[in-house]
Structure 1
């Protein structure tokens, strides 16, 4: 059977779509995703230009660490491109408030996105949207199917099953149960606390209640994830305290650990490194039958320079980014970075398809610390890193961690005072 070429099919089906332009317009796209250059040149740009004669795209990325500074300099000088790739939350909100990003709330394509998907690029009151959501990453656990088969284990769906599997791997002694270290700190919060936490605080219900001041970090829903993390140290292997993020990646892809708490951003890299079949499971719920929640975290968006000379062409591109056509191309070109539109997308990569299938089973939310709550000092995101590490290592109790985080947040965030 001949395999269908999705890119070719998209080109054919969209060849006659869209308006013809009186003369060619070139839109320049600013981005930090310099590793995506070939994908834009080989797949995204040809598909868009075939569907929209008269509009040319010029993708001009900067190095990720330099993007914010370079973009701000260009915007101030009036030399920035027509299209701005948007980091989530405060960095892009600042650009909108400075008048650099246009209000695109009325764009037709925005109807394809949920409130959760749009949250990374909305004003605090969610009344104005200034970037089209492009992609998210989904948290969960990747595991080594060969090890699970060898030890007769199945994917855990409840916490009891999760810890039973960890115990079985530890008792066997051939493999490290879970590959994660605490040296770099962020993993303990990102791949630990904000991975399992939504099942306790009930996703968006709890996150929005924390923003409103109706819940506190000392409430059981926010302390309970620390209680689970306090058990993790027994399963992370000898020397996990000094283990870096790259160390953990190597330990798992070399087949020395059974489970890797993580996010979908690892898929592409792991596919090229692991010589075993990988599976994935979402964060186990507390009891059978409970609703599951996943961190489907907004990662990248795209907006319009308010000073562009080509606003109609820019809106055409932004509407297309919200379409199923773009979602299909982008999601298959970058397995593990998932389109945020509501249109169903089938992925060629089986591990990526497993992650994205959870949207149909679980409720989606985003990382609890990323919207508003890390603007002040102490920064709640960074404090959550530290607290998660301290709890895993046994240096701080879950209750003390919650009290410390609450005290820090209340010191500057009015709704929590």
Structure 2
């Protein structure tokens, strides 16, 4: 009988202990549109966090990118969204914060690890409140075929003059299309064209903010001259570039038929897996030797806290970890081309990714000029910039006309300072 009672007491103690452990465990659900990095979360990020934070479990729950905004908004309105909200840059997330669906994270431990430019995509217009922890950005520049450059004796261009000299040499040789870019899908011309080279003309953040404040206009020289440069790209594009899609451009480059690809760093993983030649990258060439260089280091993804989460403190622990150099190192190396926005530099294991991120040391960062505030009305400046960038390259609009059209559209709804 004594042995039986001891056994019962032992069992009760074990069960009680198990119950206590079980009760202490909290599961945080992460909402995200990025379903392509599920394995990275499951195999690297979640195990690293859970090991350091016993009692807190993470569940990564992605939704298809095209369905994410509508699905998330419905869940938030219904009170059924996860604890952690993956944040798109600028207006979509700002709207959630204004509806009090995201928590103000301005004073979160670790937020000091990010610069004002890094936080801009997830801050209020006045910059006083930040509501998502910046996770990663993409950087613009040019990816080139190293084998082609070596064969033709071309050095990496640092200035505009050197850039066009390289294009002339490639074109004269005739074995490669100088620039792999088309205009059919429109957005390429703006994103990898205008927003790539433009910051060197409008001086990055200075020009972008001046445009928002109404101190500069899209008809000013610093906003028209990038279109003048884009117009000069036309002779270096492939035959029939007007009908060339984004995927066509990717294929032309990875098959070795083009020498230079106006790029975003998001291409790195795909190009590395497909190209059978050595690749390198260079930043947008400066206008003349000695000029300060600018790069579009554009915020892509952040994470915030659902205001209705019942696990606020545990969620803040997770977000503090996302703000740490440890998270930055794991994430950036697991997903080359999506770079940490943390002020602590991350050494990249992928050489092409390291080349892109190294530019941060000597170039001033900025974000795409149309993304904050200026695309909230109709016509949408971002979409109109796609159209005019393609029109300028196609030769159907002059740079001057493009600037006039864009400014007229903006004037139709945007009143600076109001």
Q: What range describes the TM-score normalised by the shorter chain of this pair?
A: over 0.9
Residue 115 (structure 1) shift? 0.5
2:270 maps to 1:288: no
Per-residue CA distance 1:248-293 (angstroms, 9 max, x = gap): 0000000000000011000001111001111000000000010000
Query: How far does residue 167 in structure 1 lie from its aligned partner after superposition?
Result: 0.3
Tell me which residue corresponds to 2:277. 276
Deviations 1:45-64 (A, max 9, x none): 00011111111100000111
TM-score (norm 2): 0.94
Q: Which moved more, 1:150-159 or 1:93-102?
A: 93-102
Q: Deviation string for 1:54-111 (max 9, x for gaps)?
A: 1110000011111111111111111110000000011111111111111111101110
Distance in 1 between residues matched to 2:308 and 2:37, nearest whole Å = 25
Q: Which residue of 2 aligns with 1:5?
A: none
Q: Does 1:267 align with 2:265?
A: no
| Matched ranges for 1:236-247 at <5 A | 236-247=237-248
What CA distance in whole angstroms lies between the structure 1 residues aligned with 2:417 and 2:129? Answer: 25
Secondary structure at the residue paired with 1:108? Answer: coil
- With structure 1 as the length reference, what TM-score do the two structures score? 0.94
Stretches (4+) displaced over 4 A: none
Corresponding residue of 1:92: 93
Where do 1:239-388 residues align within 5 Å? 239-388=240-389
Give the Cα separation in 2 of the matches to 1:373 and 1:317: 33
SS in 1 for 2:308: coil
Aligned partner of residue 272 in structure 1, secondary structure: helix
Identify the residue that residue 410 of structure 1 maps to in structure 2: 411
Aligned to 1:63: 64
Task: Please give the secondary structure, in 2, of the residue aligned with 1:280.
Answer: strand
Displacement of 1:22: 7.7
Alpha-carbon contact 1:156-1:284 (below 8 Å) kept: yes
- Superposed, 1:3-402 pairs within 5 Å as 23-402=24-403
* 1:282-314 C-alpha deviation (Å, 9 max, x unpaired): 000000010000000000000000000000010
Aligned equivalents of 1:95, 1:37: Cα separation in 2 = 24
In 2, Cα distance between the equivalents of 1:344 and 1:263? Answer: 20
Q: Distance in 2 between matches of 1:228 and 1:415?
A: 28
CA contact (8 A) 1:21 1:53 kept: no
Q: Counterparts of 1:386 and 1:43 in 2: how far apart (Å)?
A: 41
Q: Number of aligned pairs?
A: 398
Gap runs ≥5 in structure 2: 1-20
The answer (yes or no) to whether the contact 1:155–1:281 under 8 Å persists in 2 is: yes
Q: 1:12-48: CA deviations, max 9, x gaps?
A: xxxxxxxx99811110000011111110000000001
Q: Is the CA contact 1:113–1:342 (under 8 Å) kept in the aligned structure 2?
A: yes
**Separation in structure 2 between the aligned mates of residue 371 and residue 21 of structure 1, nearest angstrom:** 45
Say if 1:49 and 1:55, in contact at 8 Å, map to a contact too: yes
In structure 2, relative to structure 1, the CA distance for the partners of 1:53 and 1:21 (3 Å cut) is farther
Q: Could you list the runs of 5+ residues in structure 1 that have no partner in the other structure? A: 1-19
Shift of 1:416: 8.7
Distance change in 2, residues 1:374/1:21 (3 Å): farther
